[in-house]
Amino acid sequence: MDGGSEIDAEKALSQLVRTVDDVIQVSKSIAGKITHVATASFWHSIVGVDRDRKPTTKVLSWADNRSRDFVPVLRKKLDESEVHNRTGARFHSSFWPAKLLWLRKKQPGAFSKTAQWLSLSDFLSLKLFGDSSTSISMASATGIFDIRKCEWDKPLQRSLKLQRSHLPHIAEPSQSFQLKPKFLKRWPRLAEAAWFPAIGDGAANNIGSACVTKD
């Protein structure tokens, strides 16, 4: 085993669409409108997309540790304690800095074609809503997000040679999305629903387990 843990982004989208199909079917007997949709996704994933919004890489999950050899490279180049103070994350194979160095070294063709780096949930948002904006929750799990300023960490951007356009927009906490026309047609019951950006699964589990009523 080489430590890889990959997901096909397009297959994940297809599975999500089928899941929503099933939920809509089951909910037919429930009266009332669906006004909001809250979502959660696993943390620490990364996938590249090109200018046509097509995946350039597989989704590397939190468990993919092929970038482990780049952790000491980061520690030699940067002050880990300072980075930890700004981002809340130490250098580790589950975070984006090491993964990006690995991708640049091991998949240079895909890396050069990538216009933007996203979490899996951001990719799904891009396909469902036409907007790749990410939540503060998801951004905080990348390891390159300044948790005090609530923005992408500029020193790490410079070190990793990332332009601002390479990273998704940070959504406001109150921001919501609407489905693209083809999905509105597929799911008319969700025509008026506001979708919120995904938050991390660990956070959702801690604050929302068994929360199924308005109270």
Any domain includes 29:
no
3-state secondary structure the chain: CCCCCEECHHHHHHHHHHHHHHHHHHHHHCCCCCCEECCEECCCCEEEECCCCCECCCEECCCCCHHHHHHHHHHHHCCHHHHHHHHCCCCCCCCHHHHHHHHHHHCHHHHHHCCEEECHHHHHHHHHHCCCCECHHHHCCCCCEECCCCEECHHHHHHHCCCHHHCCCECCCCCCECCCHHHHHHCHHHCCCEECCCEEHHHHHHHHCCCCCCC
Any domain includes 98:
yes
In angstroms, rounded to a whole number, what is the distance separating the alpha carbons of residues 10 and 8?
Answer: 6
Any domain includes 212:
no
Tell me the pLDDT tens digit for each residue of 27-81: 888 878 899 999 999 999 999 999 999 999 999 999 999 999 999 999 999 999 9
Q: Are 120 and 47 in contact (CB under 8 A)?
A: yes
Close Cβ partners of 25 (under 8 Å, ≥ 6 residues apart): none
Q: Which two tokens stand for residue 138?
A: 């998801």
* Predicted local distance difference test score (pLDDT) of residue 204: 83
- CATH assignment at residue 146: 3.30.420.40
Any domain includes 49:
yes
* Predicted local distance difference test score (pLDDT) of residue 203: 84
Any domain includes 146:
yes
* Predicted local distance difference test score (pLDDT) of residue 81: 98
* Predicted local distance difference test score (pLDDT) of residue 58: 98
Any domain includes 27:
no
Tally the domains of the chain: 1
Any domain includes 205:
no
Q: Which two tokens stand for residue 95?
A: 């975070």
Point out the residues of the chain with pLDDT beneath 70. 1, 208-212, 214-215
* Predicted local distance difference test score (pLDDT) of residue 215: 64
* Predicted local distance difference test score (pLDDT) of residue 211: 65
Q: Write out the residue range of the structural domain in which residue 93 sits.
A: 6-21+34-199
